């Protein structure tokens, strides 16, 4: 077993884990943060995207021990319980950016990372290119793209990053 200490959604967490524990397993099974999903489990679909030190990564292809000493943010960390949604979440709701919803947490975490890197004015082409690593099996891309463009703009006028 390996002892790890990390910050998850602003809270310090310490645990003993088997080194082969994936970050997504640790989040879901140890911390019960089940908003992060496992889709393909082969780093292709992006349902498991979380932020590690502020950057989007696939938590199915990261060991929990590799997050030791780092900061993790999951979909649950975007807005506080009971508080208004994060602007990107709100934009997905407004624009019907989800159908079954399975890919949504990963889509939103990828979208927020994209805004952090490329700003608030995102063109269609940029968004589609940046969604290379996120798959929606409902094929709801049209509204996902609309949602991300709207969410990116809304984030400019929000306190939530």
Partner 1 sequence: MYEFKYHRPATVRQAANLLLKNEDAKLIAGGHTLLPVMKQRLASPPHLVDLSHIDGLGGIEIKGRSLVIGATAKHAEVATSAIVGEALPALAELASLIGDPAVRHKGTIGGSLANNDPTADYPAAVMALGATIVTNKRRLKPEEFFQGLFTTALEPDEIITKVMFPIAKKAAYIKFRNQASRYALVGVFVAKRPSDVRFAVTGAGADGVFRVTAFEEALSKRFNSKALDGIHVHAEGLNSDLHGSAEYRAHLIGVLAKRAVDAANGKA
Binding site for partner 1 (CB under 8 A): 2, 18-20, 22, 41-43, 46, 49, 52, 55-58, 61-63, 65-66, 110, 113-114, 117, 130, 132-134
Whose CA is closest to 117, among 72, 161, 68? 161
CA angle 59, 65, 66 (to 5 degrees): 60
Smaller CB separation from partner 1, 54 or 84: 54
For the bound state, the minimum distance from the C-beta of residue 36 to partner 1, rounded and expressed in Å, comes to: 13
Q: How many residues does the chain have?
A: 161
For the bound state, the minimum distance from the C-beta of residue 141 to partner 1, rounded and expressed in Å, comes to: 15
Smaller CB separation from partner 1, 96 or 122: 122
Category of 16 on φ-ψ map: left (φ > 0), alpha (ψ -120 to 50) or beta: beta
Smaller CB separation from partner 1, 96 or 120: 120
For the bound state, the minimum distance from the C-beta of residue 54 to partner 1, rounded and expressed in Å, comes to: 10
The residues near 144 (Cβ < 8 Å, ≥ 6 apart) are: 92, 97, 98, 107, 131, 136
């Amino acid at each position: 077993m390996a002892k790890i200490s990390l910050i998850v959604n602003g809270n310090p967490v310490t645990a003993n884990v088997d080194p082969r524990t994936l970050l997504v397993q640790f989040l879901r099974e140890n911390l019960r943060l089940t908003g992060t999903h496992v889709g393909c489990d082969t780093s292709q679909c992006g349902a498991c995207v979380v932020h590690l030190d502020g950057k989007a990564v696939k938590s199915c292809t990261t060991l929990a021990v590799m997050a030791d000493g780092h900061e993790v943010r999951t979909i649950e960390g975007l807005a506080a319980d009971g508080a208004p949604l994060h602007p990107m979440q709100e934009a997905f709701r407004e624009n019907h950016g989800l159908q079954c919803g399975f890919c949504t947490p990963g889509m939103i975490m990828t979208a927020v990372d994209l805004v952090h890197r490329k700003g608030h004015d995102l063109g269609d082409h940029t968004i589609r290119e940046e969604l290379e690593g996120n798959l929606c099996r409902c094929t709801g891309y049209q509204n996902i793209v609309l949602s991300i463009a709207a969410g990116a703009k809304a984030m400019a006028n929000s306190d939530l990053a």
